[in-house]
Amino acid sequence: MMYPSKKTIKVAILDAFRGMEDVDEYVLKPGHLWRRYYGQLKPTERDYFHQAIAELKAKGLVEPHGGGVPLLRLTPKGEHLLFAV
């Protein structure tokens, strides 16, 4: 699985949240992004991965959550974007 651009990586991250059902809080499990996506990227795409997460944070769609293992939580703004009717 290759993600050739920041845009496709951002879509993949948001799709991971979109795939969650019946949860009180949208938090990706520890290491989910790293195991599922990061390890499959080419070195140049890994830079895009970090930039994509930084852009999602800057737009207020996700925020860091938890301790040592990087976790992302979907913000209320992100929830509205993904799930608004």
Q: Which CATH class is domain 6-83?
A: mainly alpha
- pLDDT tens, 9-43? 899 889 999 988 767 789 887 777 777 788 888 88
Contacts of 71 (CB under 8 A, 6+ apart): 27, 28, 29, 30, 64, 65
Q: What is the reported pLDDT for 46?
A: 86
Taking only the tens place, the pLDDT of each residue in 43-77 is 888 888 889 999 999 999 999 887 666 688 999 99
Domain ranges across the chain: 6-83
**Chain centroid to CA 85:** 21
| 78 vs 46, higher pLDDT | 78
